[in-house]
């Protein structure tokens, strides 16, 4: 894979890198990517690029983050983070950036100054037209393999939330919820949200 990015440090002449082929991307390659408005993730050595999210996506991520934040202020169950936050799992060459992660109090030691180094207890991905296959397929398998206990997939267009819990090495669909229904977390006691509050019409 050849990408025509040009990297230029302040006061230095432009330098063009020869980027690695798909399947061979490393954390060092990821760190050299430009800040050009695109969203980059490297999953199992493959680079994935997407443009800035649509407003519908941002509305859903903001709504759910606010619900988790407010719940946690009352119950102090851990910490919640919103993208972009690098998450590095032991054995992974590169980080991922879930839309939202929640880390329980007993696992707060995985939070470092620059990134999270360990397995979040809850991961949320908000679907976009250009990334739905990544969230439903690649990340689905990666998060299960890493041992993420609970995975939510939010679809703002269909106004649905899917809740998956880890059984062994695979995810089990606990429920697919639509407007008028309530989603209840398995790992966060007392946390529940109505779908229409996260995915408004």
Q: Are residues 71 and 135 in the same domain?
A: yes
Q: Does residue 73 fall inside a structural domain?
A: yes
DSSP states of 142-183 as a string? HHHHHT-SEEEEEETTTTEEEEEEEETTEEEEEEEEETT-EE
Q: Are residues 141 and 86 in the same domain?
A: yes
Q: Are residues 184 and 87 in the same domain?
A: yes
User: Domain span at residue 45?
Assistant: 6-50
Q: Are residues 34 and 120 in the same domain?
A: no
pLDDT tens digits for 2-22? 444 444 444 433 455 677 777
Q: Are residues 136 and 187 in the same domain?
A: yes
Per the structure, the count of domains in the chain is 2
Q: Are residues 38 and 85 in the same domain?
A: no
At 47 the three-state DSSP class reads strand
Q: Are residues 76 and 162 in the same domain?
A: yes
Q: Are residues 65 and 33 in the same domain?
A: no
* CATH code (residue 194): 3.90.1570.10
Q: Are residues 110 and 169 in the same domain?
A: yes
Per-residue pLDDT of the chain (201 residues; tens, 9 = 90+): 344 444 444 443 345 567 777 777 776 776 777 776 666 767 667 776 666 677 887 999 999 999 999 999 999 999 999 988 999 987 776 788 899 999 999 999 999 999 999 999 999 999 987 666 666 777 888 899 999 999 999 999 999 999 999 999 999 999 999 999 999 999 999 999 999 999 999
Q: Does residue 43 fall inside a structural domain?
A: yes
Q: Does residue 1 fall inside a structural domain?
A: no
Q: Are residues 135 and 59 in the same domain?
A: yes
DSSP states of 76-92 as a string? --EEEEESS--EE-TT-
Q: Are residues 61 and 44 in the same domain?
A: no
8 A C-beta contact, residue 78 and residue 72: yes
């Amino acid at each position: 894979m050849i990408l025509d990015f040009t990297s230029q440090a302040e006061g230095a002449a432009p330098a063009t890198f020869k980027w690695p082929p798909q399947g061979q991307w490393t954390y060092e390659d990821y760190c050299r990517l430009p800040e050009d408005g695109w969203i980059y993730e490297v999953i199992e050595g493959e680079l994935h690029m997407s443009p800035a999210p649509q407003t519908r996506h941002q509305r859903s991520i903001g709504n759910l983050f606010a619900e988790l934040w407010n719940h946690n202020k009352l119950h102090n169950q851990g910490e919640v983070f919103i993208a972009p936050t690098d998450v590095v799992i032991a054995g992974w060459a590169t980080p991922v950036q879930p839309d939202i992660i929640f880390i329980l109090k007993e696992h707060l030691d995985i939070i470092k100054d620059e990134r999270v180094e360990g397995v979040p207890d809850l991961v949320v991905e908000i679907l976009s037209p250009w990334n739905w296959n990544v969230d439903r397929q690649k990340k689905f398998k990666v998060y299960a393999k890493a041992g993420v206990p609970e995975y939510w997939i939010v679809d703002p267009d269909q106004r649905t939330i899917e809740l998956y819990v880890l059984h062994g090495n695979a995810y089990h669909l606990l429920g697919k919820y639509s407007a008028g229904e309530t989603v209840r977390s398995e790992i966060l006691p007392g946390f529940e949200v109505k779908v229409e509050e996260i995915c408004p019409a």
